Chains A and B, each alone.
Chain A
């Protein structure tokens, strides 16, 4: 039994309607695919961006704000860690790296972060070009920064976008210090790709703060003079081992400081994201279901025009099963084509959203179609296979004589 000629003939006869059904199923499926793919990509991208930030010490407040500012380099105000606590943390012997992070300036739209050369090395895993900074006026740029090696620049106070693109206004905010680019980091897939790392001493100095060393001392990096260390928004530590990590977290959980693993914050964020994703995924599934049911209503309406045709086939000797398969096959064809289209739409939408998010956050968000998305599409096809039996059973039960007379 081969109902394919009839299925093809009917689809060709109502090509416009069937194309619309396929498009509707495709769009509904695509929305679901895009949501799940994007959420997974966002989770992976954000987790990867936080990989090198083992333990963060900051002033008491919102851990989420600190993560957003220190790891994702989002603009915002974070209170400063007290100088004494900063000095203690920077001299922490159980940490392989204890790097301050100081923000506030920018150049050509890239944020300038004051830190240590060892942290830049740790973050980048070796440089792509040049060398690490060894003097206060040297800078290492992120992989995507538009400055060139050897290029000189003056840091602007604040973030350039905040000056509304007014060059004169931005010029007024420039610090009177000439910096030179000496190295470029490897791509990290994090917002740091668009950041400029400079010695923390330089950030402190241009803001009129002590530089962590005795006046006149031009050294950069650790060890710092505790009497000369100002406060910082955050310190990133790379503990010696896991037990040291938990030990340090306890040590710096005081009235004057908080210490946390960024993963803890991300897990909370992912929980919220997961809830939102679940809600949106259910909405997408419900939309798919409604679209399939609407499509079925349309198919039933179209098939009612073919009642006589089916009765003729029965008169010519077609078994009822043949009629069933003709209708079932049409609906299944719509669902399968819609699912394939939806997969393509979902992949395209997720890629586009990833591109836009990467452009705005700097976090590499590689959206891919994975098992979850295939299950979603597979579920939709299975639902379609089941739902297709409704119009198929209606056609199966069409009374032949009444239909022949119609």
Chain B
């Protein structure tokens, strides 16, 4: 499941920020700054992840989405 979550996460990030390669980012830095994601794109991104993985992705959990690695770990724990 570890690999699946990362694949889905990477796919959804590519949909929103196609010009940024996941390999080139700092996976522990602020996810929205690394991918230059504004609040509306972030909402769409969270909605897409929630729908694909069957998760609620509540706003209260947003602090756990702060970096690529943190979000990946969050998803793996719940899927």
Do the two shown chains form a genuine complex with each other? no
Q: Which B residues are within 8 Å of any A CB, using their own CB? A: none
Q: Which A residues are within 8 Å of any B CB, using their own CB? A: none
